[in-house]
């Protein structure tokens, strides 16, 4: 990102780097000398590929560290490991064009995601090393991705073929996501929301699978901070002014007698803004709080992910969390564009993790939603008189929740000339305005939210490639991930209005259709809905199913349902040893065998 300045160093410590390990045949007096330059050049071209294509959440290019020397044996392997520790390397990528000594050159750190690229040449046997070292990794229980290009290259060729490039980048992104999660917190603001199992925080899962810690607070902390004005008061004034200018208040849908008064509504608006400031400060701290003598509060909880219970106790008495959730999960606020915060509605921690997966792989805002209704073509026709055609012809799934989805989900940003969602550092000021313009803030439904508040109401533009995913936990099995790639759909206005009015029209709607494969859970649209494992999903822009699969495999989370093309599936080499015909079943066996990384 040329000219991009780091504005937002929100987590404790440095961001994890990617370490490159050029391995070499250790024999001096001829062999090693003849290979030094080629091997180091290979490392350098992989480093360039990564810094040009992989970015941290804040838009900075990912930092790459190359071993000081080629690694010809155990001494150099140990020095490299030492350097990587010193430099904060979180992902390891070994490259070689030649034969080297497998277990003598391996990276033995069990907590660092690993891949090896064995150059496909024949003058020197890089592919032979690849096979030998992967056998070593498998034998030692250190799952490692193997990268072997399909076409033979000439010795000394430093170009990276397309298939190799795709795998290197997929691994780099997935590995980095794993490294980014490690050491961060999930902050549970409140307890279990309305009996939603995802808001029962499973500590063992966070600790063993993600390397994260769990932090908790009671929602009364919001009251204390509101009453004692423990937030940046100048920022509050700025935010209030901004929202008055930019946030369009929509019609009140409550029956007349039940509507909140204008004074109550203005107070709700102010409280909603304060909740937003407070939730953010609770997650990541705010140096400004130290200036007003709240030094402890200024530190925050190092939370990469948080959840807000809201319903019931809070929302029964105070304004709901919709404004807070929608603004924090978006790519902008009154301070301008900034990276989104992963804040799960209803404290659904498992959906919060699903959001974080999508976010860390793409740097884009995620849409938290209820997977509300499958509308079959027949049901739509019965209710609206309209026969669905085009992308929605096989039926549509209504994604809608009580107003927390990121405003980026309006689809008002442009990617290659089409509607899309971009990382905040690529979003333009004009696109921010368009997202705000496409959103109405509707006085909350007071039957559900007795304390009032404001729900964001928008309709997602159609034709965007998107992926929904969801992490579930099954007793005895552990975590499982489900993934559905598909598209957002435009319905005729009249049809949308009739269907939307059957739910709560004050909430944001996305019409979603999965890509169908005609098999299993993707036989038809109904079967996707019918196989969804919980009430929520997280939606990410783009078809990122293959990236999610690679990420899940590093975390040893099996994928129980996906519609990703077989040729894009990329998992550690060991997975092949659990069976090659039925990849879904072998994934379960491999994950079970290796178990969570941080156990």
Ligand X SMILES: C[C@H](O)[C@@H](O)[C@@H](O)C(=O)CO
Q: Report the nearest approach of ligand X to the CB of residue 512 (Å).
A: 16
Q: Considering the complex, state which of residue 76 and residue 370 has its C-beta at the smaller distance from Mn ion.
A: 370
Whole-angstrom Cα distance, residue 23 to residue 523?
46
Question: Which residue of the set 346, 426, 500, 587 is catalytic?
Answer: 346
Whole-angstrom Cα distance, residue 21 to residue 70?
7
Q: Considering the complex, state which of residue 453 and residue 479 has its C-beta at the smaller distance from ligand X.
A: 453
Q: Report the nearest approach of ligand X to the CB of residue 122 (Å).
A: 57
DSSP state of 407: G
Catalytic annotation present for 346: yes
Indicate which of Mn ion, ligand X, none lies near residue 509 (CB less than 5 to 8 Å, by partner kind). Answer: none
**Nearest alpha carbon to residue 111 among 214, 12, 213, 209:** 209
SS (H, E, C) 194-262: CCCHHHCCCHHHHHHHHCCEEEEECCHHHHHHHHCCCCCHHHHHHHHHHHHHHCEECCCCCCHHHCCCH
Q: How is residue 164 written in tokens? A: 């190799």
Q: Considering the complex, state which of residue 534 and residue 559 has its C-beta at the smaller distance from ligand X.
A: 534
Q: How is residue 147 written in tokens? A: 């990268």
Q: Considering the complex, state which of residue 208 and residue 402 has its C-beta at the smaller distance from ligand X.
A: 402
Q: Report the nearest approach of ligand X to the CB of residue 185 (Å).
A: 24
Indicate which of ligand X, Mn ion, none lies near residue 76 (CB less than 5 to 8 Å, by partner kind). Answer: none
> What are the start-end ranges of the E strands in 346-450?
367-375, 396-400, 413-415, 418-420, 440-443
DSSP state of 364: S
Q: Report the nearest approach of Mn ion to the CB of residue 462 (Å).
A: 23
Q: Does residue 84 contact residue 92 with C-beta atoms inside 8 Å?
A: yes
Is 536 annotated to bind a ligand? Reply is yes
- Return the ∠ at Cα 38 (arms to 32 and 40), rounded to 5°: 90
Question: Which residue of the set 370, 408, 490, 547 is catalytic?
Answer: 370
| Strand 478-488 with 559-561, pairing | parallel
Q: Binding residues for Mn ion, per CB under 5 A?
A: 370, 401
Whole-angstrom Cα distance, residue 77 to residue 283?
38
Q: Considering the complex, state which of residue 286 and residue 401 has its C-beta at the smaller distance from ligand X.
A: 401
The sign of the dihedral angle between the CA atoms of 351, 510, 259, 248 is positive
Indicate which of ligand X, Mn ion, none lies near residue 138 (CB less than 5 to 8 Å, by partner kind). Answer: none
Which residue is listed with tokens 């991009």?
A: 4
Whole-angstrom Cα distance, residue 310 to residue 317?
10
Q: Considering the complex, state which of residue 78 and residue 194 has its C-beta at the smaller distance from Mn ion.
A: 194
Q: Report the nearest approach of Mn ion to the CB of residue 345 (Å).
A: 6
Q: Binding residues for ligand X, per CB under 6 A?
A: 196, 311, 346, 370, 401-402, 448, 535
Indicate which of Mn ion, ligand X, none lies near residue 311 (CB less than 5 to 8 Å, by partner kind). Answer: ligand X
Q: Report the nearest approach of Mn ion to the CB of residue 539 (Å).
A: 13
Q: Does residue 344 contact residue 279 with C-beta atoms inside 8 Å?
A: no
Whole-angstrom Cα distance, residue 54 to residue 153?
25
Is 386 annotated to bind a ligand? Reply is no
Residue nearest to ligand X (CB): 448
Indicate which of Mn ion, ligand X, none lies near residue 39 (CB less than 5 to 8 Å, by partner kind). Answer: none
Is 370 annotated to bind a ligand? Reply is yes
Indicate which of Mn ion, ligand X, none lies near residue 448 (CB less than 5 to 8 Å, by partner kind). Answer: ligand X
Whole-angstrom Cα distance, residue 424 to residue 432?
10
Residue nearest to Mn ion (CB): 370
Q: Which residues are annotated as a binding site for Mn(2+)?
A: 346, 370, 536
Q: Which residues are annotated as a binding site?
A: 346, 370, 536
Q: Could you list the active site residues?
A: 346, 370
């Amino acid at each position: 990102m040329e000219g991009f300045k780091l504005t937002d160093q929100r987590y404790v410590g440095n961001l994890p780097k990617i370490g490159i390990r050029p391995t070499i045949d250790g024999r001096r007096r001829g062999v090693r000398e003849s290979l030094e330059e080629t091997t180091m050049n290979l490392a350098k071209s992989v480093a360039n590929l990564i810094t040009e294509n992989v970015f941290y959440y804040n838009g900075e290019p990912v930092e790459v560290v190359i071993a000081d020397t080629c690694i010809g044996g155990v001494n150099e392997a140990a020095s490299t490991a030492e350097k990587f520790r010193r430099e904060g390397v979180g992902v390891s990528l070994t490259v070689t064009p030649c034969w080297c000594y497998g277990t003598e050159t391996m990276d033995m750190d069990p907590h660092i995601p690993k891949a090896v690229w064995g150059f496909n040449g024949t003058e020197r046997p890089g592919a032979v090393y690849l096979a030998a070292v992967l056998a070593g990794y498998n034998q030692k229980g250190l799952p490692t991705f193997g990268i072997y290009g399909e076409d033979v290259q000439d010795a000394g060729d430093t170009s990276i073929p397309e298939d190799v490039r795709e795998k290197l980048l997929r691994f780099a992104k997935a590995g980095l996501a794993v490294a980014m999660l490690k050491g961060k917190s999930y902050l549970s603001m409140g307890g279990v929301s309305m009996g939603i199992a995802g808001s029962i925080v499973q500590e063992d899962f966070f600790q063993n699978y993600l390397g994260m810690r769990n932090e908790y607070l009671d929602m009364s902390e919001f009251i204390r901070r509101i009453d004692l004005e423990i937030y940046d008061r100048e920022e509050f004034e700025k935010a209030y002014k901004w929202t008055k200018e930019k946030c369009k208040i929509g019609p009140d849908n409550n029956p007349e007698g039940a509507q909140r008064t204008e004074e109550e509504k203005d107070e709700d608006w102010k409280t909603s803004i304060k909740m937003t400031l407070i939730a953010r400060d609770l997650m990541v701290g705010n140096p400004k709080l130290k200036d007003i003598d709240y030094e402890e509060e200024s530190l925050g909880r190092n939370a990469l992910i948080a959840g807000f219970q809201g319903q019931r106790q809070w929302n029964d008495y105070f304004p709901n969390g919709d404004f807070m959730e929608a603004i924090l999960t978006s790519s902008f606020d009154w301070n301008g564009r900034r990276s989104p915060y992963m804040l799960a509605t209803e404290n659904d921690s498992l959906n919060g993790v699903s959001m974080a997966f999508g976010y860390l792989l793409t740097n884009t805002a995620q849409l938290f939603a209820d997977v509300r209704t499958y509308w079959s073509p027949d049901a739509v026709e019965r209710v609206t008189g309209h026969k669905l055609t085009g992308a929605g012809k096989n039926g549509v799934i209504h994604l809608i929740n009580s107003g927390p989805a990121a405003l980026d989900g309006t689809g008002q940003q442009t990617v290659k000339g089409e509607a899309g969602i971009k990382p905040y550092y690529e979003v333009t000021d004009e696109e921010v305005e368009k997202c705000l313009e496409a959103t109405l803030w509707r006085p909350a439904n007071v039957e559900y939210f007795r304390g009032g508040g404001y729900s964001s109401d928008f309709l997602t533009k159609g034709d965007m490639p998107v992926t929904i995913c969801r992490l579930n936990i099954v007793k005895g099995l552990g975590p499982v991930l489900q993934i559905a790639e598909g598209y957002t759909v435009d319905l005729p206005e009249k049809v949308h209005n009739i269907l939307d009015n059957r739910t709560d029209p004050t909430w944001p709607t996305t019409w979603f259709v999965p890509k169908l494969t005609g098999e299993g859970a993707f036989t038809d649209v109904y079967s996707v809905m019918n196989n969804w494992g919980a009430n929520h999903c997280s939606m990410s822009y783009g078809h990122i199913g293959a990236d999610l699969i690679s990420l899940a495999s590093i975390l040893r989370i099996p994928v129980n349902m996906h519609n990703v093309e077989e040729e894009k599936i990329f998992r550690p080499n060991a997975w092949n040893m659990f069976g090659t015909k039925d990849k879904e079943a072998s994934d379960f066996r491999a994950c079970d065998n290796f178990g969570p990384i941080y156990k």
